[in-house]
Chain A
């Protein structure tokens, strides 16, 4: 499929340019923040002398554009450098946090995506029924509350009152898979409640939209059962918008969980990014920021490709 390959390669090239722009913006952003790493780490106990020594050691006495270009040259070769604050390799620093973030995102996604689509299909099937209305009210209610509030409610009822789940989602290398699933259930549930409404509503709307088309009426007239009409006739034609919304929510599950991480003390990338920004640790901010930007770009490209594949009309250039 040459047109598709062309699309993919042009998208990837655009993605690379976007990443470059993002890295420059992040660098400028950090430069604009008051104080630098030496001041943030030494805090109130900084004296001009110790600051100068600290800056010389980290190369912070160099002009800003030189520091950026140095970083860029190394990053282009795949070397993200070492954290200025802890002197650990950024790749090391990221690896465990990245695993944790991906674990939580997958955990939430594996439950949220099928449940949302199923609920969307069912509520389209039984449109305007009591089931449809209660699912909608529940999902919209969950999304209307801020995440931290949902998280605190879950902690209050499921941990403190009932004692079923731990309040701290503490996982480390030693925890077994089952243990990790149990310990991170509450943060995963919070995320599920936050993302489900969006996907569910989009599925429902897209299906209902397609249900108005003449070929559906034709299928009904031929005597095809309602559920078959929806799953086999309507769903394939409604996939494109659903895929897009799912991709957007998956990206959110990976990059948007800072608040949930804080409430449950979950050691993920969000917390790392917050720490790095607070201490102006530029290499770490860049690495995490680029990963987040890359996630968005990849998922969006993926969503486009899948939508095209799902729709034969888009596969062939006119």
Chain B
């Protein structure tokens, strides 16, 4: 894994990082060796993790999961119907197989018959239905509620088969079930006990103190072969980046997420530490609401899209741990990525050209920003403002409080900073943030052709046609859409060289799409 990701980074501008990574561990010189090692997972050992997030307000109720600490716990203690494999495809997990009718409207999931809860009971269709229903209906406060609104009916067919009937066809429907909210719990009279610790995952909870730590122990009777290698896992919340990095340096933890990119070079001094990067789906956006002047003019949007220096943002704000964005939300690692689109770049002359096309001689806009949107958002906004001057655009940066940013700025102000954690498929990404009907359509963009293609692609099972459809949608987003997407961020973590990862990890989210507890092991 290290070999692969590090090589992918080998652009000359990132020489500094490469050299450091080599010094930091076995990244390049011992590459072949690492590979041979990486092939054989080994059982045993304790993994101690220093995690940025985690809060006293955390609970085991799957409807309320709001941070990495609970996502990781969720995947370790419980399981989902489907998981995202390293190649980005959806693979059955608690489900043994699934199939759809040709219109992709009715989906039949067959459950494994060997999957058991930690109390020994077998997983049945009733458990699945109650668990999914927990996130549906008017009383649910779940974050995935909008995603499940398409389900018209769920019913069991015997103990082992669950049938989902959808409002409309959806070829990507199985991908939804990878979500960490949608873990399967035990049915209790038609609903679930949200606080119950009984799960189907590879680990059971030994101690849990919200906002402080959780201790997990491997289940000896885990039903999934070749998974869950650590004997014990301890997740610690260590919010302060310096404390997290110190703990890794002194060997008190084996793995930390989100090291401080400004001081990451200090970690590389230690030979027992390696830096792990993933080209994920995480991206930073600056949504313009296309219903508000002046953003209602597509030429103004294009002028702004050419007035931002994306490369500078990647280098200066992300410290090289990222790639430039092309104003659509599909990552290069995702299926149906359109590689033929022309890359939007900083071009003051082009920006001026679009500005004159819109009939404006100069442009005054305000960009609302806060580091709550993403770490470095304020710096990125100021860089944008400076670059925009060259194109005759007067971009005022208005710094907002971090507190309440998502309630008072995002979706409220016509031009602000935001981020998306990404979704496994173009359909899910577009449906969440770009469809005309989406709650989180933060640009209020309602392109007729785009929405027509979205509906068409969703029920289409033919791969070739889907590639065409999603290719065109990316292009529409780029040239007409309201979202300015300057950069995709890399997920960066740091760990002891003893922690081993498979050759290829799932890159959608950080740390093997947060399934590292069950997929990684100790040398």
Q: Which residues of A contact B439 (CB under 8 A)?
A: 47-48
Q: Please tell me if the beta carbons of B242 and A152 are within 8 angstroms of each other in the complex.
A: yes
Q: Please tell me if the beta carbons of A265 and B236 are within 8 angstroms of each other in the complex.
A: yes
Interface residues of B, count at CB 8 A? 47
Complex: chain B residue closest to A42, CB-CB: B143
> In the complex, what distance in Å separates the CA atom of A53 from the CA atom of B146?
13
CB contacts under 8 Å to A, within B121-152, are 138-143, 145-146
**B358 within 8 A of partner (CB):** no
Q: Which of A35, A45, A159 contacts B408 (CB 8 A)?
A: A35
Q: Please tell me if the beta carbons of A86 and B59 are within 8 angstroms of each other in the complex.
A: yes
Q: Which residues of B contact A93 (CB under 8 A)?
A: 56
**B404 within 8 A of partner (CB):** yes
Q: Which residues of A contact B55 (CB under 8 A)?
A: 85, 275, 278-279
Q: Which of these binds chain B: A123-131, A164-172, A307-315?
A: A164-172
Q: Which residues of B contact A88 (CB under 8 A)?
A: 59, 210
Query: Which among B66, B213, B418, B440 has the highest number of chain A CB atoms within 10 Å?
Result: B66
> In the complex, what distance in Å separates the CA atom of A88 from the CA atom of B64?
14
Interface string of B235-248 (1 = CB under 8 A from A): 01111101100110
Q: Which residues of A contact B58 (CB under 8 A)?
A: 86
Q: Please tell me if the beta carbons of A47 and B66 are within 8 angstroms of each other in the complex.
A: no
Interface string of A42-54 (1 = CB under 8 A from B): 1111111110011
Q: Please tell me if the beta carbons of B250 and A53 are within 8 angstroms of each other in the complex.
A: no
**B410 within 8 A of partner (CB):** yes
User: Given A39-B407, A41-B57, A170-B236, is A163 in contact with B64 using a C-beta cutoff of 8 Å?
Assistant: no
Closest 8 CB pairs of A and B: A34-B404, A85-B57, A35-B404, A275-B56, A54-B141, A45-B143, A167-B246, A47-B439
User: Given A43-B66, A85-B59, A275-B55, is A34 in contact with B408 using a C-beta cutoff of 8 Å?
Assistant: yes
CB distance from A269 to the nearest CB of B (A): 11
CB distance from B182 to the nearest CB of A (A): 14
Q: Please tell me if the beta carbons of B243 and A167 are within 8 angstroms of each other in the complex.
A: yes
Q: Please tell me if the beta carbons of A86 and B56 are within 8 angstroms of each other in the complex.
A: yes
Q: Please tell me if the beta carbons of A172 and B66 are within 8 angstroms of each other in the complex.
A: no
CB contacts under 8 Å to B, within A126-160, are 152, 155, 159-160
Q: Which residues of A contact B403 (CB under 8 A)?
A: 33-35, 278
Q: Which of A44, A45, A152, A271 contacts B56 (CB 8 A)?
A: A271
Q: Please tell me if the beta carbons of B56 and A160 are within 8 angstroms of each other in the complex.
A: no
**A297 within 8 A of partner (CB):** no
Q: Which residues of B contact A267 (CB under 8 A)?
A: 209, 211-212
Q: Please tell me if the beta carbons of A159 and B250 are within 8 angstroms of each other in the complex.
A: yes
Q: Please tell me if the beta carbons of B57 and A281 are within 8 angstroms of each other in the complex.
A: yes
Q: Please tell me if the beta carbons of B141 and A53 are within 8 angstroms of each other in the complex.
A: yes
19 other A-B residue contacts (CB within 8 Å) besides A43-B406, A263-B242: A33-B404, A35-B408, A39-B404, A39-B407, A42-B66, A43-B66, A45-B440, A49-B145, A50-B145, A83-B57, A87-B61, A166-B250, A167-B250, A168-B238, A262-B243, A263-B240, A267-B211, A272-B56, A275-B57
Q: Which of A44, A86, A170, A275 contacts B406 (CB 8 A)?
A: A44
> In the complex, what distance in Å separates the CA atom of A86 from the CA atom of B58?
6
**B465 within 8 A of partner (CB):** no
**A38 within 8 A of partner (CB):** yes
> In the complex, what distance in Å separates the CA atom of A272 from the CA atom of B56?
6
Interface string of B42-80 (1 = CB under 8 A from A): 000000001000011111010010100000000000000
CB distance from A31 to the nearest CB of B (A): 13
Q: Please tell me if the beta carbons of B213 and A170 are within 8 angstroms of each other in the complex.
A: yes
CB contacts under 8 Å to B, within A10-42, are 33-35, 38-42
| B interface secondary structure, majority | loop
Interface string of B241-283 (1 = CB under 8 A from A): 0110011011011000000000000000000000000000000
Q: Which residues of B contact A35 (CB under 8 A)?
A: 403-404, 406-408
Q: Which of B141, B213, B249 contacts A50 (CB 8 A)?
A: B141
Q: Which residues of B contact A54 (CB under 8 A)?
A: 141
Complex: chain A residue closest to B195, CB-CB: A87
Interface string of B395-408 (1 = CB under 8 A from A): 00000010110111
**A264 within 8 A of partner (CB):** yes
Q: Please tell me if the beta carbons of A265 and B243 are within 8 angstroms of each other in the complex.
A: yes
Q: Which of A33, A43, A57, A160 contacts B246 (CB 8 A)?
A: A160
Q: Please tell me if the beta carbons of B66 and A155 are within 8 angstroms of each other in the complex.
A: no
11 pairs from A and B in contact (CB 8 Å cutoff): A40-B404, A41-B66, A46-B406, A49-B138, A87-B195, A159-B246, A167-B249, A168-B247, A168-B253, A271-B211, A272-B56
Q: Which of A38, A48, A152, A276 contacts B141 (CB 8 A)?
A: A38
> In the complex, what distance in Å separates the CA atom of A278 from the CA atom of B67?
14
Q: Which residues of B contact A275 (CB under 8 A)?
A: 55-57, 211
Q: Which of A45, A160, A276 contacts B250 (CB 8 A)?
A: A160
**B32 within 8 A of partner (CB):** no
Q: Please tell me if the beta carbons of A57 and B247 are within 8 angstroms of each other in the complex.
A: no
Q: Please tell me if the beta carbons of B242 and A34 are within 8 angstroms of each other in the complex.
A: no
CB distance from A185 to the nearest CB of B (A): 14
CB distance from A93 to the nearest CB of B (A): 7
CB distance from A248 to the nearest CB of B (A): 27
User: Given A34-B408, A35-B403, A155-B246, is A276 in contact with B142 using a C-beta cutoff of 8 Å?
Assistant: no
**A96 within 8 A of partner (CB):** yes
Q: Please tell me if the beta carbons of A53 and B140 are within 8 angstroms of each other in the complex.
A: yes
> In the complex, what distance in Å separates the CA atom of A38 from the CA atom of B142?
11
Q: Which residues of B contact A263 (CB under 8 A)?
A: 240, 242-243
**B207 within 8 A of partner (CB):** yes
Complex: chain A residue closest to B54, CB-CB: A275
Q: Which residues of B contact A96 (CB under 8 A)?
A: 209
Q: Please tell me if the beta carbons of A279 and B141 are within 8 angstroms of each other in the complex.
A: no
> In the complex, what distance in Å separates the CA atom of A96 from the CA atom of B439?
41
Q: Please tell me if the beta carbons of B238 and A265 are within 8 angstroms of each other in the complex.
A: yes
Complex: chain B residue closest to A277, CB-CB: B403
Q: Which residues of A contact B139 (CB under 8 A)?
A: 53, 56-57
Q: Please tell me if the beta carbons of A172 and B140 are within 8 angstroms of each other in the complex.
A: no
Q: Please tell me if the beta carbons of A160 and B209 are within 8 angstroms of each other in the complex.
A: no
Q: Please tell me if the beta carbons of A42 and B240 are within 8 angstroms of each other in the complex.
A: no
CB distance from A29 to the nearest CB of B (A): 12
Q: Which residues of A contact B210 (CB under 8 A)?
A: 86, 88
Q: Which residues of B contact A41 (CB under 8 A)?
A: 57, 64, 66
Q: Please tell me if the beta carbons of B138 and A53 are within 8 angstroms of each other in the complex.
A: yes
CB distance from A195 to the nearest CB of B (A): 22
Q: Which residues of A contact B408 (CB under 8 A)?
A: 34-35
User: Given A41-B64, A47-B145, is A168 in contact with B59 using a C-beta cutoff of 8 Å?
Assistant: no
CB contacts under 8 Å to B, within A78-98, are 83, 85-88, 93, 96
CB contacts under 8 Å to A, within B434-478, are 439-440
Q: Which residues of A contact B209 (CB under 8 A)?
A: 96, 172, 267
Complex: chain A residue closest to B146, CB-CB: A47
> In the complex, what distance in Å separates the CA atom of A155 from the CA atom of B439?
47
Q: Which of B207, B240, B401, B418 contacts A265 (CB 8 A)?
A: B240
